[in-house]
C-alpha cells in the first residue's frame, strides 16, 4: 500500500512505502520554514531542489543540494527551510 | 501547490510540483506491470527500488536501478514492471 501524508496545511506532502531495509517516504516541501521531530533515525536525501537545514543542537544551517543527504538521529528534531519546491526521499532506519 | 495524482487503482501515486526547468513529480509504484503514455518528453529517475522498462518500439526490457534514469520521448509510451515498491522522480521537459 502507498500511504499519503500531509503536514503544515499541505505545505509538505509525502507518499509512504516499504523497503526491505525499512519504511521510506518520498515527498515535496513548499517554500517556507518547518520543524520536524523524529522517532526513528531519518536519512533525508534531496531529490530535486534544495533545502537549508539546522540540526538540533547545531548553530550553523547547512545547504543540502539535490543528490546530497543528511541524517537526523532518532528522538531528535531539525528545522528546514526551502526557497523552491523541493522533492526529497526520507529513509526511516 | 503540491498536486496529488493516482493511477491504476492507487497502485501508482505521485506528487506534482514546479521547478524552473518545468514540471516534475515524485511518486511510488507498487509491484506490478503498467503502461504509461507521454505528452512531453519524460526523464524518469529511480530514487529507491528498481524498475524494468520497455520503451515503445524496443524489444529488450531494461533494468533501471536506484540512481539510474531513462528517457521517454514526447507523444510516446513505455511499459514498466516493478517487483518491489519503487520510488521515482519524473521530470517533464
Of A13, A14, A48, the CB nearest to B19: A48
Q: What is the pLDDT of residue A9?
A: 97
Return averaged pLDDT per consecutive 10 residues of chain A, 93 residues in all. 97 98 97 96 98 97 98 97 98 96
Say how far residue A26 (Cα) sits from the centre of its chain. 9
Q: How many CB pairs (< 8 A) connect A and B? A: 74
Of A17, A30, A49, the CB nearest to B28: A17
Of B2, B19, B47, the CB nearest to A89: B47
Number of domains composing chain B: 1
B52: Cα within 13 Å, side-chain hemisphere: 10
**Mean pLDDT rounded to a whole number for chain A:** 97
Beginning with the edge strand found earlier in the chain, give each strand of the sheet holding A77-82 in spatial order: A32-37, A77-82, A50-55, A62-65
CB < 8 Å to B24, chain A:
48, 87
Q: What is the pLDDT of residues A26-52, one digit of tens each?
A: 999 999 999 999 999 999 999 999 999
Q: What is the pLDDT of residues B69-89, one digit of tens each?
A: 999 999 999 999 999 999 999
| DSSP state string for B4-30 | EEEETTTTEEEEEEEETTEEEEEEEE-
- What is the residue range of B54's domain? 3-92
The whole-angstrom separation of Cα B10 and Cα A2 is 8
Contact with chain A for residue B66, Cβ under 8 A: no
CB < 8 Å to A26, chain B:
15, 26-28, 47-48, 87
Of A1, A13, A24, the CB nearest to B15: A13
Q: Chain A closest CA to B76's CA: distance in Å?
A: 25
Burial of B70 (0-12, 13-18, 19+ CB in 10 A): middle
Below-50 pLDDT ranges, chain B: none
End-to-end CA distance of chain A: 19
Query: What Å distances lie between residue B15 and A13, A16, A88, CA to CA?
Result: 8, 12, 11
Contact with chain B for residue A89, Cβ under 8 A: yes
Q: What is the pLDDT of residue A59?
A: 96
Contact with chain A for residue B17, Cβ under 8 A: yes
User: Which cell numbers in the block locate residue A79?
Assistant: 528545522
The whole-angstrom separation of Cα A42 and Cα A35 is 14
CATH number at residue B76: 2.60.120.10
Contact with chain A for residue B47, Cβ under 8 A: yes
Amino acid at each position: 500500500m502507498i500511504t499519503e501524508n500531509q503536514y503544515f496545511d499541505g505545505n509538505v506532502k509525502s507518499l509512504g512505502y516499504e523497503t526491505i531495509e525499512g519504511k521510506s517516504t518520498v515527498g515535496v516541501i513548499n517554500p517556507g520554514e518547518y520543524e520536524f521531530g523524529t522517532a526513528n533515525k531519518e536519512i533525508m536525501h534531496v531529490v530535486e531542489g534544495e533545502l537549508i537545514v539546522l540540526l538540533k543542537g547545531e548553530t550553523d544551517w547547512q545547504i543540502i543540494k539535490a543528490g546530497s543527504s543528511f541524517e537526523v538521529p532518532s528522538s531528535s528534531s531539525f528545522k528546514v527551510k526551502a526557497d523552491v519546491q523541493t522533492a526529497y526521499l526520507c529513509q526511516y532506519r
